[in-house]
A = this chain, B = another copy of it.
Amino acid sequence: MFGSILKLYYSYFSSNKETYVLLYRVLGYCPSNLGIYKQAFLHNSVAQVKEGIPTKLNNERLEYLGDAILDAIIAEMLFKKFPFQGEGFLTEMRSKSVSRKKLAQIANDMGLQNLLMFDQAISNNPTALRTMGGNALEALIGAIYLDKGYEFTHQFIRKKILGVHLDFDELKDITENFKSLLNQYAQKEKKELEYKILNTEPESKIKIYIIGVHYDGNEISKARAKSKKVAEQLASEKACQVLNLL
Contacts and interface: CB of A to CB of B under 8 A. Distances in A.
Interface of A: 44-45, 47, 56, 60-61, 63-65, 67-69, 71-72, 74-76, 79, 86-87, 90-91, 94, 119, 121-122, 124-125, 127-128, 145, 150-151, 203-206
Contact of A60 (B86, B125, B127, B150): B86
B45 A64 contact: no
B90 A125 contact: no
Contact of A205 (B45, B65, B76): B45
Nearest to A59: B87
14 contacts: A44-B206, A47-B205, A60-B87, A61-B79, A63-B87, A64-B79, A68-B71, A68-B74, A69-B76, A71-B71, A119-B204, A121-B205, A124-B204, A127-B203
A interface: dominant SS: helix
B56 A204 contact: no
A137 to B, nearest CB: 15
Contact of A64 (B65, B87, B125, B206): B87
A49 to B, nearest CB: 14
